Structure 1
């Protein structure tokens, strides 16, 4: 029995080595698996960062730590704060809860291919904010029903931190927060590095059917028949200025 186990383990090790070698060669032969540059990888990691609001943060984290997961359909499960504990939170504390915790989780076995030169692109869509997790219906309803307060809290947080996390961007897009456009532009102009802020401006114009944008070449490039979820514009000053000027015109027209 010991001998057969030894040979079995040796065979298993050899099989894994061959498989790993095959995968390496497959990745080298397939341009989709080309490794992104360090600058692109760093930008990708920054795109996925969320902002952690300060409102009742210690209390909210303690409540989240005590949540037990419950089963759902298939690979979906839920991590939901109980009604009594949830109702005990103030509105800003509920905002913190929703910004740092998604109540629905699902398993996804797909490994996305890396995006090359990600730092040199302006995308038409934001990345997923919680990876394999999503806000529940209760959470989405909170964001919409408390839209004005949510936008006010985001503005306050962004003006303080000078950052717009992915959770904030996704929320602004979801609640159609066009009123926050000046805050977004002001924050972007601090260093011109977070191109996903431009993506939010684009999404707000699209969401509101702003015709100068909807009939533009930019719209066709990002959302036309030949587009994909990863469609992008090249990052350059011309595209940057065009997006900002259109967003400002949209905001000023909507404000009137």
Structure 2
């Protein structure tokens, strides 16, 4: 193997052969045993052969990496089939980041309904995140959605967000949605000290367990996840897909 496999940058490996589904094999089992011996205690998941001879797909915690048979050289990036014109990594990575909606602690969120509210989505949001504010504008435009809102302040980026999040929660069960909307639209903080019993710390810990790196972060009814702010048309399409709703003809 050449030294190029040692590059930890976001490298793209281009495959010139058609990619099939990854499969377990004696060779993959051997690579798994090698990785377990070399990196004890690591979050090692499945190991399967990739479409590229000698390269194996490894689930490493929430990440998807590629490794050669000695377990020394790792490749972080996407594998492309240039003949089939397909990204082979992104669909697999999407499967790894799925979150079952019914596993979320909904008692630590508050629901906001826009329009009929037929489509459902969970949202991890930082009240001082400008991208979250942009996403709220998109929600208002697309409508017909119930948003289960988890307050998830990013203290390292927005030092005041934790206090604001607690104030929003402490506005009371019937007022939380309105308090959140008012802050996101106008910066109007609720008139309380943010000292009530609240789930903000639990939400932050939950986000870490789910490997949420930033906000906004959406979780759909089908378990699919979507980080970042979406344009209204893209948000509408994603909500339809994640709720198994056919787009209007």
TM-score scaled to structure 1, two decimals?
Answer: 0.22
More relative contact order, 1 or 2 (CA 8 Å, 6+ apart): 1
Q: Name the structure with the higher strand share.
A: 2
Larger fraction in helix: 1
